[in-house]
Amino acid sequence: MDHLLVRRIAGFRVAAVVFLAVSTITLIKSIFLPSYVVELINQCNLMLNLVAMVFFGFVYQKLNEKNYDLLVLIGLAVAFAYYFSVETMGSYDARLQNLSDIGVGRTLDYQFLAPLFFIVAHTLFFRKSIMYFAIIVYSGGLFLNVYEIVTSKSVYFSTVWTELIADGNAINLPFFGVWLNIYITITIMCWAVVYLTDRLLDDAVKFEKSTKNLSRYFSPTIRDQIKEQDILVENVGDRNQAVAILFTDIDGFTSLSETMKADEIIKLLSEYQEKMVKPIFENMGTVDKFIGDAVMATFGTPVSQGNDAQNAFECARQMQIAMNQWAKERAEAGLPVITHRIGIHYGECIVGNIGTEERKEYTVIGDAVNVASRICDAGKALKATLVFSNEVKVRLLEDIRARIEEKVQLKGKDEKITLYCLD
């Protein structure tokens, strides 16, 4: 279920509780303290609140993602019908009491209450479209009621207390102004609450997605640095940066996959990637991408973590330990043993967000990346499980006894290089 729907369901459920409480209280009041002079209207009012109470109680209990769209439409219709019915019953009861003879000006004091309540209640739906609907509909109803009262021939505005007390047709002008200000202010505030809540939710969803991406690609240490330094990875501009690049590739994966079912291949790759990601994160690396049976990781992005070449080499060492343990587990289970190759290179890359506005990817590109990939491929011909370049070797803090392969011609490269191999 997406965050937007979760918010809307929660809001509608709270709104249902409010309407349920109001209809229940009004129902009890209708039984013990009838609001209308005419008994028939009191009975209608009782039934109206009973129906509203049952419906909103049902909404609170049964609302879910499947029936939300239907119930919210019915809920809006029920709320409007409730408001319209109350207004109609009040108007009919007033006519039967001949309030026009007594004076209808005083009734203006109470016209703002009902529409204001419904506008505030509709705020709980947390939907801008519903908020617009509520403001237009209930403000429209208020306008019609106010217009009918103030255009009556006998009604007039006054600020004289003796007139206001003695004459029911006199409208308290200061009080009317206060109500108008309150109504406009609360209406604007309700709209602002819905609008800001909508914006805040969008920001929260974006932040959560960003956090998920950080958790997926960056180690916990780097992730904490990004948060502490307030680095917006999605806004990082392209820049040249010295980076250690590591590639892995499963030996003979193409022929192996031909003997496996699709779900078995997916399971195998998932297990392999999980075993590769752990040492990458433990050595402050970044998972750049998964390419079929290959994994590409970088060390030194988005910021350097010290000796990035050493971190990459230590990662490769831990990867080999994980692969040896996995080989034992698969052999004991009677499954084919999986081996792989690792290639590491260190050099200048372009680091940044690559792609279109619709799909951007934080990655590294450049010749150093291509060289690292070719070094990994060269491991097959060199019969080595770990191959790294001289640019990596000179930055290591330990003396590695590796087999030296000089003047190695990498595929697609004119210049021959020296590689160091570990079997």
User: pLDDT value at position 198?
Assistant: 81
360-365/403-408 β-pairing:
unpaired
Domain boundaries, the chain: 3-211, 232-422
pLDDT tens digits for range 332-343: 998 889 999 999
- Asked if 4 contacts 201 with a C-beta cutoff of 8 angstroms, the reply is yes
What share of the chain has pLDDT > 70, as a percent?
Answer: 89
Inform me whether the pLDDT recorded for 394 exceeds 90. Answer: yes
pLDDT tens digits for range 277-332: 999 999 989 888 888 889 999 998 887 888 999 999 999 999 999 999 999 999 99
Nearest Cα to Cα of residue 411 among 372, 364, 383, 385: 372
Report the DSSP beta bridge partners of residue 97: none
What share of the chain has pLDDT > 90, as a percent?
Answer: 56
pLDDT tens digits for range 186-212: 999 999 999 998 888 777 666 665 555
232-422 belongs to which CATH class?
A: alpha beta
340-355/239-250 β-pairing:
antiparallel
pLDDT tens digits for range 7-43: 889 999 999 999 999 999 999 998 999 888 888 899 9
182-185-190-192 Cα dihedral, nearest 10 degrees: -170
386-389/340-355 β-pairing:
parallel
Average pLDDT over residues 202-223: 61
Q: Which residue has the higher pLDDT, 190 or 359?
A: 190
User: pLDDT value at position 413?
Assistant: 85
User: pLDDT value at position 1?
Assistant: 52
Q: Which residue has the higher pLDDT, 237 or 395?
A: 395
pTM above 0.85, yes or no: no
Nearest Cα to Cα of residue 246 among 346, 317, 320, 321: 346
pLDDT tens digits for range 129-139: 999 999 999 99
User: pLDDT value at position 254?
Assistant: 85
User: pLDDT value at position 222?
Assistant: 60
Mean of all residue pLDDT scores within the chain: 87
User: pLDDT value at position 395?
Assistant: 93
pLDDT tens digits for range 145-165: 999 889 988 899 999 988 888
